[in-house]
């Protein structure tokens, strides 16, 4: 089948049938709805030759049709010429080509296309390898500068490509067996900071004439407004934010939006109404958390990538770029300002530009056309546009709990956030939260019905209840084609007086291991990985894990969230398999083995008003000022702190630590076990300056300001990221010498 946009044609009757979701392939699949729901696995982020960058990378042949064929289990040709095929078909698939100049480069290079006859086509012709770089720099540069290439934005061209994209999606839609979505990518990238979103429509029969692209606006607020307009026209749609780890802190802001306006309740409501989901793992790394944000999480250092797309030697800020911290900050915003913009569900996704996506470590064939098509290229340590090829990985997968495999059922599940993400394996994980689940509920065959009847599934809100700790039912079943399971963990986050906290509980695990009483850690599951042979065995681990868990440290007065993380036993990473093929030692830059995983969407808890009132009230900066406290000036701060060590007490959790502010503008924190990224270990330190009446330290590229107030003979500190609270008792060196 021809795959160019203008060449794809269906009869009017077939297009009409397809647009209504009628079976156009000649067969129908009957399916009975399952009220207990099934787990369906699929892809929400896939590029084909119609995407500008995919074509530049060498994917010049395989369009949306081939992508759907691959997802259905058929073999297609990789851009490098060899055939690729999934071991098992997906349940659903959305092609999300970049809306910006979608299809135009491919069409300009096809002599049969009307686009190739346009005057501008001469600038888009790829005649030799050097043309690729020239064209990409020109077109990508125009997007970055906001300079429109008007001749490629003619409505008749753009609308035709979108109509053909829709027709192809409808052709491959097989309700009950395989679901396709009409979808696309909105590719906003101000200053090389990843703000991309994928847009999914519920009904391919009700669509706009053309997608809203970053050429129309690169502000997410404008995308949300457009989606609201579409909804009023009957076009139900939602957005899925991309891998936030490369957003440089812009994906999850807490102070101002992309237009510089203060974040408020209206902004939070608009975001959640239009963007209920986010990617937690894709080929460019995971966005759950990072060691700098979660130093006590022994599994945080998984597939971490941290750069700005298109820039070599770049760095993306940690703060504002990871989902767990966004969940935590969302609670703090709820507690201090009355709204939470970050109650989103999570999905795994791809972002492959090959029309085909690899999910298997052992059958990895690259993600970016010719750039990483062979083991030799992948292991060369190449850095392209900031991306270290060695650090890229397999695609994640989206898991959706739905009554049936149809657009309507899957889309509704996405809206209610009953979804989970995996690192690419097909681990099925389920989670319910409630107040009165029996401890032996999992012995019943009807436990799922009990889960729904007496509580809420992942993505839900626990109804407030005083004086009782919530219970959670969690179950995970291994991917039948991959490694056994190591453990299930519950990740809890909460907030108090503007500070954010987290704790990870091992709640179910394989074997007869026991939690170490001294460390509180579960011993490792072990490893059967043979690095030299790139093999492993399933002689350890479990096929299924499940439990009913009660929070042993529940505080009914505090906002909290809970989500499950499931870990597999160690298995070889794709780079180890590649090294075996080449007969070389695996690269030392990346781990030779990985623990694949799955993450559920959280369940959220909000306290009753009575419980909230019983909580100890924190001290706010506004209270300090009202009591007559005076903020120290630059001169006073330098006199009291520079070249000296201050003793500090965190009044929220009682931690004590010393801070040495060196004369060399370096700051060292010591004598503190610490969890916060902005309080690094003594070996790391941080740069600081005294500026505008604040001690400003820069951690992982993010500035954190501390204002110090004097109230009588006391000194009290307030951090800029703690939502207006003053949580630190500070004793400067001179006060220590005075005997305080």
Stated as kind and residue range, the H or E segment containing 648 is: strand 644-650
Report whether pLDDT(13) > 90: no
Report whether pLDDT(611) > 90: no
Q: Provide the pairing of β-strand 345-348 with 277-282.
A: parallel
pLDDT reported for residue 8? 31
pLDDT reported for residue 17? 33
Report whether pLDDT(114) > 50: yes
Query: Exposed, middle or buried, 471 (CB in 10 Å: 0-12/13-18/19+)?
Result: buried
pLDDT reported for residue 312? 85
Choice between 467 and 127, residue whose per-residue pLDDT is larger: 127
Stated as kind and residue range, the H or E segment containing 238 is: strand 237-241
Q: Can you tell me the distance from the alpha carbon of 685 to that of 666, in angstroms, rounded to the nearest whole number?
A: 7
Residue 405, token pair as written in the block = 């495999």
178 DSSP assignment: B
Euclidean distance between the first and final Cα of the chain, in Å?
A: 82
Q: Can you tell me the distance from the alpha carbon of 15 to that of 20, in angstroms, rounded to the nearest whole number?
A: 9
Give phi and psi for 389, each to the nearest 5: -55, -35
pTM (2 decimals)?
0.93
pLDDT above 90 covers what percent of the chain?
83
Query: Exposed, middle or buried, 131 (CB in 10 Å: 0-12/13-18/19+)?
Result: middle
Q: Can you tell me the distance from the alpha carbon of 172 to that of 72, in angstroms, rounded to the nearest whole number?
A: 9
Q: pLDDT digits over 248-298, tens only?
A: 999 999 999 999 999 999 999 999 999 999 999 999 999 999 999 999 999
Q: Can you tell me the distance from the alpha carbon of 119 to that of 739, in angstroms, rounded to the nearest whole number?
A: 82
Q: Provide the pairing of β-strand 387-388 with 499-509.
A: unpaired
| Residue 592 CB neighbours (<10 A) | 18
Residue 268, token pair as written in the block = 């939070």
Q: At what angle do helices 12-19 and 155-171 cross, to 10 degrees?
A: 70
pLDDT reported for residue 682? 39
Q: Provide the pairing of β-strand 383-384 with 92-94.
A: unpaired
Residue pair 224/70 in contact (Cβ under 8 Å)? The answer is: no
Using 50, 70 and 90 to split pLDDT, how confident is the model at 4? very low
User: What's CA 635's distance to the chain center, in Å?
Assistant: 43
Residue 740, token pair as written in the block = 């305080």
Determine the 3-state secondary structure of 358 from DSSP: coil
pLDDT reported for residue 673? 46
pLDDT reported for residue 671? 61
Q: Can you tell me the distance from the alpha carbon of 573 to that of 591, in angstroms, rounded to the nearest whole number?
A: 7
pLDDT above 70 covers what percent of the chain?
93
Q: Hunting for tokens 């201090």 — which residue is that?
A: 336
pLDDT reported for residue 468? 87
pLDDT reported for residue 635? 97
Stated as kind and residue range, the H or E segment containing 649 is: strand 644-650
pLDDT reported for residue 136? 82
The full DSSP string for 58-97 is T--S--HHHHHHHHTT--EE-TTS-EE--SS--SEEE---
Residue 466, token pair as written in the block = 């005083």
Q: Can you tell me the distance from the alpha carbon of 596 to that of 436, in angstroms, rounded to the nearest whole number?
A: 32
Residue pair 9/20 in contact (Cβ under 8 Å)? The answer is: no
Q: pLDDT digits over 291-345, tens only?
A: 999 999 999 999 999 999 888 888 999 999 999 999 999 999 999 999 999 999 9
Residue 293, token pair as written in the block = 């944000």
pLDDT reported for residue 544? 98
- Domains of the chain, by residue range, sit at 5-416, 456-614, 621-737
- Report the chain's C-alpha Rg in angstroms: 27
Average predicted confidence (pLDDT) for the chain: 91
Report whether pLDDT(24) > 60: no
Report whether pLDDT(737) > 70: no
The full DSSP string for 328-348 is HHHHHHHHHHS--S---EEEE
Report whether pLDDT(577) > 60: yes
pLDDT reported for residue 672? 52
Determine the 3-state secondary structure of 644 from DSSP: strand
Q: Can you tell me the distance from the alpha carbon of 218 to that of 214, in angstroms, rounded to the nearest whole number?
A: 4
Determine the 3-state secondary structure of 115 from DSSP: helix
Residue pair 424/596 in contact (Cβ under 8 Å)? The answer is: yes
């Amino acid at each position: 089948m021809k795959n160019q946009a203008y060449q794809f044609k269906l009869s009017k009757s077939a297009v009409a049938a397809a647009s209504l979701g009628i079976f156009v392939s000649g067969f129908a699949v009957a399916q009975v709805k399952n009220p207990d729901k099934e787990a369906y696995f699929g892809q929400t982020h896939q590029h084909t030759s119609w995407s500008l960058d995919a074509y530049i990378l060498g994917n010049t042949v395989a369009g949306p049709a081939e992508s759907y064929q691959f997802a259905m289990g058929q073999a297609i040709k990789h851009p490098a010429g060899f055939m690729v095929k999934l071991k098992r078909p997906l349940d659903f698939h959305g092609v999300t080509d970049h809306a910006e100049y979608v299809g135009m480069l491919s069409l300009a290079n096809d002599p049969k296309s009307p686009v190739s006859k346009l005057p501008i086509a001469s600038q888009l012709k790829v005649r030799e390898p050097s043309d690729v770089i020239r064209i990409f720099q020109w077109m990508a540069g125009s997007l970055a500068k906001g300079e429109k290439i008007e001749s490629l934005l003619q409505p008749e061209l753009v609308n035709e490509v979108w109509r053909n994209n829709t027709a192809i999606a409808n052709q491959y839609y097989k309700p009950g067996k395989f679901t396709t979505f009409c979808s696309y990518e909105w590719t906003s990238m101000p200053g090389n900071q990843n703000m991309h979103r994928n847009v999914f429509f519920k009904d391919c029969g009700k669509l706009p004439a053309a997608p809203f692209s970053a050429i129309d606006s690169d502000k997410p607020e404008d995308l949300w407004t457009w989606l609201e307009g579409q909804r009023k026209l009957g076009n139900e749609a939602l957005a899925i934010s991309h891998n936030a780890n490369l957003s440089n802190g812009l994906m999850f802001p807490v102070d101002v939006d992309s237009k510089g306006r203060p974040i408020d309740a209206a902004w939070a409501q608009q975001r959640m109404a239009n963007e209920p989901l986010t990617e937690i793992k894709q080929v460019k790394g995971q966005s759950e958390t990072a060691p700098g944000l979660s130093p006590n999480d022994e599994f945080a250092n998984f597939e971490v990538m941290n750069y700005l797309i298109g820039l070599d030697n770049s760095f993306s800020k940690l703060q504002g770029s990871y989902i767990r911290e966004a969940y935590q900050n969302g609670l703090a915003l709820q507690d201090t300002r009355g709204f939470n913009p970050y109650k989103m569900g999570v999905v795994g996704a791809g972002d492959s530009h090959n029309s085909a996506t690899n999910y298997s470590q052992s059958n990895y064939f690259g993600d970016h056309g010719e750039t990483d098509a062979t083991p030799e290229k992948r292991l060369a340590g190449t850095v392209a546009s900031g991306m270290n090829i060695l650090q890229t990985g397999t695609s994640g997968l989206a898991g959706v709990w739905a009554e049936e495999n149809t657009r309507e059922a899957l889309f509704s599940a996405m809206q209610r956030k009953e979804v989970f993400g995996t690192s690419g394996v097909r681990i099925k994980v389920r989670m319910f939260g409630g107040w009165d689940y029996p401890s032996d509920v999992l012995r019943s065959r009807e436990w799922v019905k009990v889960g729904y009847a007496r509580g809420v599934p992942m993505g839900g809100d626990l109804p407030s209840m005083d004086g009782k700790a919530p219970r959670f039912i969690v179950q995970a079943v291994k991917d039948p084609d991959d490694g056994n399971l190591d453990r299930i963990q519950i990740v809890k986050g909460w907030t108090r007086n503007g500070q954010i906290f987290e704790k990870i509980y091992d709640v179910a695990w394989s074997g007869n291991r026991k939690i170490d009483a001294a460390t509180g850690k579960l011993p490792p599951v072990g490893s059967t990985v043979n690095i030299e042979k790139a093999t492993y065995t399933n002689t350890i681990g479990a096929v299924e894990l499940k439990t009913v868990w009660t929070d042993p440290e529940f505080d009914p007065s505090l906002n909290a969230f809970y989500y499950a993380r499931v870990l597999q036993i160690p298995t070889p990473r794709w780079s180890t398999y590649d090294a075996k093929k080449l007969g070389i030692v695996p690269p030392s830059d990346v781990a030779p083995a990985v623990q694949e995983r799955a993450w559920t969407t959280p369940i959220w808890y909000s306290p009753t008003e009575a419980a909230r009132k019983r909580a100890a009230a924190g001290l706010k900066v506004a209270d300090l000022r009202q009591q007559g406290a005076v903020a120290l000036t630059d001169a006073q701060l330098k006199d009291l702190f520079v070249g000296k060590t201050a003793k500090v007490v965190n009044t929220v959790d009682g931690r004590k630590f010393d801070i040495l502010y060196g004369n060399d503008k370096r700051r060292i924190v010591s004598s503190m076990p610490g969890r916060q990224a902005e309080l690094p270990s003594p070996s790391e330190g941080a740069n600081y300056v005294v500026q505008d009446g604040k001690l400003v330290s820069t951690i992982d590229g993010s500035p954190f300001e501390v204002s110090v107030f004097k109230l009588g003979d006391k000194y009290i500190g307030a951090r800029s990221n703690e939502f207006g609270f003053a949580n630190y008792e500070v004793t400067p060196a001179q006060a220590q010498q005075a005997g305080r």
